[in-house]
Amino acid sequence: MKNYYLLFFLTASMVVSAQSACDNAHAYMGNAYAHVKDSYESNNVSHLKHYANRSVESFKLAKKSLASCNCDKAVELANKSIEALEKVESAETFEDGRFFVKRGREFSKEGLVEIDKCAYNQFQPAAVASVAVAGTTINSTPSNLTELEQEQLKLKQQQEALRLKSQQIKAQLAQQEAQELALRKQQMIQAYKSQILENMKSYNETLKVYGSHSYVKFKETIIDMETKSISEIKSHYLNEIKMLTKNYLEALNQCEAS
């Protein structure tokens, strides 16, 4: 009996490992599909390209997991989605970009269907029914057990495999959410800094036109912003641009007095 359970756990772990790769790929492809939907529903070219790029990033992460999932059709559709969505960045008009987004959205939807099929096929009761050891096949249910006991053991092994699978999915999703959040924070920080620097340049050019010898400068406080929450990041850079604008208006008022 001990050998039987050891055999079951070894077999179940192999099945769950293959299944978890498909689950991980499915999660990334789900995110990719969500981003491409946001892109398609955008009403301006900036958001259209932004979400298309995020979809491409998620598809590339999905492909890493698909390599262990044995789902060639899903890989093919992921590649088609990436190919279509990468053309959005160079599109000259909103309509042109949306055309490629629509194609990417269709491929994405088909890809999710295919990955569902693969995930289902990876986890069938027959997959843990038997395993070959040293050239000998050992059945998952000993012959000396009653039919009811055999059914109970089959149910237990299925439940244990599902429990292990559930734990792995939760851990993978938590890791993925953390990666997505970190990426979102980096993009926000870069966008806020870029806007502040653009305003600073405009303010200083205006002051120069009006003959001011003053200038405003953005000197960010040294803080590891990526450890902050989304709302804290937004609040920090909002205060930075408020201070920059305040200094600009003071310098502009001095132009009027002189």
Distant-in-sequence, close-in-space partners of 21: CB < 8 Å, separation ≥ 6: 65, 66, 68, 69
pLDDT in tens, the chain (258 residues): 444 444 334 344 444 444 566 777 888 888 888 888 888 988 888 888 999 999 899 889 888 888 877 888 889 999 999 999 999 999 888 898 999 999 999 998 888 888 877 766 665 544 444 433 433 444 444 445 677 777 778 788 778 777 777 777 777 777 777 788 888 888 888 888 899 999 999 999 999 998 888 889 988 766 777 788 888 888 999 999 999 999 999 988 888 766
What the block records as the tokens of 86 is 């990468």
Instruction: Round to whole Å and give the CA distance between 183 and 16.
Output: 29
pTM over 0.95: no
- Sorted by where each begins, the domain ranges of the chain are 178-254
∠ CA 146-121-105, rounded to 5°:
155
3-state class of 137 per DSSP? strand
| Helix ranges, the chain (H) | 2-40, 45-66, 72-86, 94-122, 147-209, 230-257
Task: Compute CA 203 distance to the chain's CA centroid, rounded to the nearest angstrom.
Answer: 38
